[in-house]
Amino acid sequence: MSDVLDGVKEVVVDVLKIGVENVNESTKFIEDLKADSMDQFFLIDGLCEKFDLSISDEDARNIQSVGDAVKYVESHK
């Protein structure tokens, strides 16, 4: 498992207060984890902080799953 995937999972588990066993690369934030708009805001904020990134609102709208987040972080490191 990649360091980026581990980091994304850590943010998701922390923000949504769920067990890591519920999170994998294909997990969708809204459909699978029932994240609302505030959860999504805190997920993006957590990713920015964890990986020292700046994620635009437009890019944030395209991050809908754990896999999307991993790809985004890997391509913007």
- Indicate the SS3 state at residue 11: helix
Catalytic pick among 3, 14, 32, 36: 36
Active site residue 36: yes
Exposed / middle / buried, residue 75 (Cβ in 10 Å: 0-12, 13-18, 19+): exposed
* Residues known to be catalytic: 36
